[in-house]
Structures are given as structure tokens and as C-alpha cells.
Amino acid sequence: MAPRLDQLNNPLAGLFGARREEGEVYYVVHPLDDEPEEKCDPATLGPMKLSRAQRAVLIGLQGYIIVMAGLAVYRVIDIAGLLHYVLR
């Protein structure tokens, strides 16, 4: 937790919303300035358990990405004029 300072010691305490009856200010610490936390090792984690609904949504998203990539490839081929020669 961030260090606690009294309002009397900090002249900027009023800017951060501390009132006389509260008497304390908490500083926000940016994640890049904070102490690094211990990370989990992905190799020790097991496979994720998915419900049928989650699996269906993921398959739907994969299908959507494939369709959108196909449309992008089709558009590039169309702009390049290659479809004119193929469909002749």
C-alpha cells in the first residue's frame, strides 16, 4: 500500500480531496514505478477449462477472423485486377 501522510505535513493534501476530519492522503503509485510482483509460470499452469458456450464463442471468433482475412485477401486481389483475368 502507498505511504500515508498527514495533512499537516503535506501542503498539497487539500488538492487530493483530504479534509481536516479525514487527515490522510494516499498517493497513487504508477505500475511502472511500483515494486514488481511475482509472476506465474505458464508451464506449471494446466489447460483452461471452458464451458460449451465459451468454446462456441471462441470457435465463432476464429471463424469471423478467417472470413475477415478472406475478405481482405479478396479485396487486395480485386484491387490488383487479378480477378479480371481469372473470371474471363
Q: What is the tens place of the pLDDT at every residue in 31-64? A: 888 888 888 888 888 888 999 999 999 999 999 9
The verdict on 81 and 57 lying in the same domain is yes
Give the pLDDT confidence score for residue 67 in this predicted structure.
98
Do 19 and 8 meet the contact criterion of CB atoms below 8 Å apart?
A: no
DSSP symbol at 41: P
Q: Whole-angstrom Cα distance, residue 33 to residue 27?
A: 12
Domain hosting 28: range is: 1-38
pLDDT: which is higher, 28 or 24: 28
Residue 3 reports pLDDT greater than 90: no
pTM recorded for the entire structure? 0.48
Question: Ranked by mean pLDDT, which of 5-14, 21-30, 79-88 comes out on top?
Answer: 79-88
The verdict on 6 and 26 lying in the same domain is yes
Number of compact structural domains in the chain:
2
The verdict on 53 and 25 lying in the same domain is no
Residue 4 confidence class, pLDDT cut points 50, 70, 90 = low
Q: Whole-angstrom Cα distance, residue 78 to residue 70?
A: 12
The verdict on 87 and 51 lying in the same domain is yes
